[in-house]
Amino acid sequence: MVWLMKPESVPEKILVMFFAIALFALVVGLVLAVVDRPKFPKWVPVTGYLGPALVLITFGLLWPGILTIRNSFMDANETAFIGLDNYARIFTDAQFLTVLRNTLLWVALVPTVATAVGLVYAILVDRTRFEKVAKTLIFLPMAISMVGASIIWKFMYEYKPKEADQMGLVNQVLVWLGLEPQQFLLVPVLNTLMLIVVMVWIQAGFAMTVLSAAIKAIPDEIIEAAKVDGVTGMRLFWWITVPSVRPAIVVVLTTIAMGTLKAFDVVYVMTGGQFDSSVIANEFYTQSFNRGQPNIGAALAVILFVFILPIIVYNVRQMRISEGER
């Protein structure tokens, strides 16, 4: 049975796959067989349906989370308790302060710009002749993985001396304009902004989709009444459209903000966090697995959780308020 624990050949891996599927089917069958009997008390089916999920959440999420919090107060060997030293280092060391600054830039710019682009785009193409094609074009980046999008944009930012043929489209445009090509990914702060552009490009399609649905849900009577009162153009946008889709805007902003805080792929693929471009999620990986500092990585993970928690709470609260208004 050694092959079951550590399959090496292709046939062994296939057997392990089928064994896992069969085991899953057996467990599900047993659960359904037990809970689908009317003679059992009510707590039995409830336990049968929720029990496995609670066990998985406990051992796959809660327990690792508790260990992470514990390790954030330990030394690099995870043997000695050092209190808040790891957090003190993060909030005083210049390298980590740069990481925190970059993360704040990401959270401030990506949700705001992506939501604004998605909202304006949704309004411009709403009920136009080419609406479906236009929406498909901006939504396409959502179908690309983060790694794939990062590779695409890494080629877009590719640098060559001015006298050489440019591979990167962005630098080629600069050369056409008579400007010097730039090493976008090597210059601190500028490289962070260039990475943010990639994330905005990916998330704008999501924002457009949600906000377009919200715009179409605005009753025609409200729009017609506003136009009768002489409200058109930008006044119609600010006084009617934006207030009407405010709940959707909040959902989009908070959802993109949570995804942005966890952004890892874009930074890792395009710069590896070098040249002062790292963010918390990338630095957590670097400290934990590359630099042998799991205690610092754990502290960064806790800080990331603390940053995300208020956004989740606010989002849940807004959803409850929205449901209460219906």
Verify that 275 and 307 share a domain, yes or no.
yes
Confidence at residue 167, expressed as pLDDT on a 0 to 100 scale: 87
Confidence at residue 69, expressed as pLDDT on a 0 to 100 scale: 92
Verify that 51 and 164 share a domain, yes or no.
no
Structural contact between residues 242 and 249, judged by C-beta atoms closer than 8 angstroms: yes
Confidence at residue 300, expressed as pLDDT on a 0 to 100 scale: 93
Cα 307 to its chain centre, rounded Å, is 13
**What is the pLDDT averaged over residues 216-232?**
82
Beta strands in 63-105 (DSSP E): none
Of 81, 206, 67, give the one whose Cα is nearest residue 146. 206
Q: Report the domain count for the chain.
A: 2
Verify that 236 and 136 share a domain, yes or no.
yes
**What is the pLDDT averaged over residues 232-254?**
86
**What is the pLDDT averaged over residues 66-93?**
90
Does residue 152 have a pLDDT over 90? yes
Does residue 136 have a pLDDT over 80? yes
Does residue 263 have a pLDDT over 90? no
Verify that 77 and 198 share a domain, yes or no.
no
Last residue of a domain, one of 86, 101, 132: 86
pLDDT digits (tens, 9 = 90+) for 52-71: 778 888 888 888 889 999 99
Verify that 143 and 50 share a domain, yes or no.
no
Confidence at residue 18, expressed as pLDDT on a 0 to 100 scale: 85
Structure tokens at 32: 């359904």
Going by pLDDT thresholds of 50, 70 and 90, the confidence category of residue 298 is very high
Residues β-bridged to residue 81: 74
Verify that 251 and 320 share a domain, yes or no.
yes
Confidence at residue 116, expressed as pLDDT on a 0 to 100 scale: 94
Which CATH number characterizes residue 226's domain? 1.10.3720.10
57 in helix, strand or coil? helix
Verify that 111 and 183 share a domain, yes or no.
yes
Last residue of a domain, one of 86, 114, 134: 86
Confidence at residue 316, expressed as pLDDT on a 0 to 100 scale: 79
How far from 179 is each of 153, 155, 231, CA to CA, in Å? 20, 19, 44
Confidence at residue 6, expressed as pLDDT on a 0 to 100 scale: 67
Full residue range of the structural domain in which residue 73 is found: 2-86
pLDDT digits (tens, 9 = 90+) for 168-209: 899 999 999 988 999 999 999 999 999 999 999 999 999 999
Confidence at residue 325, expressed as pLDDT on a 0 to 100 scale: 57
Verify that 275 and 132 share a domain, yes or no.
yes
The CA distance from 74 to 143, in Å, is 41
Angle (CA) 216-220-224 rounded to 5° is 135
User: How many Cβ atoms from other residues are within 10 Å of residue 12's Cβ?
Assistant: 14
Cα 127 to its chain centre, rounded Å, is 30
Verify that 41 and 115 share a domain, yes or no.
no
User: How many Cβ atoms from other residues are within 10 Å of residue 181's Cβ?
Assistant: 19
Structure tokens at 164: 């050489």
**What is the pLDDT averaged over residues 284-312?**
90
81 in helix, strand or coil? strand
Place of tokens 């697995």: 289
Last residue of a domain, one of 86, 119, 143: 86
The CA distance from 249 to 2, in Å, is 53
Verify that 136 and 11 share a domain, yes or no.
no
Residues β-bridged to residue 74: 81
Verify that 167 and 28 share a domain, yes or no.
no
**What is the pLDDT averaged over residues 75-79?**
85
pLDDT digits (tens, 9 = 90+) for 24-57: 888 777 767 766 666 667 776 677 678 777 888 8
Burial class (CB in 10 A: 0-12, 13-18, 19+), 186: middle
Confidence at residue 35, expressed as pLDDT on a 0 to 100 scale: 61
H or E element, residue 78: none
Structure tokens at 91: 């909030």
Verify that 76 and 94 share a domain, yes or no.
no
The CA distance from 265 to 193, in Å, is 16
H or E element, residue 163: none
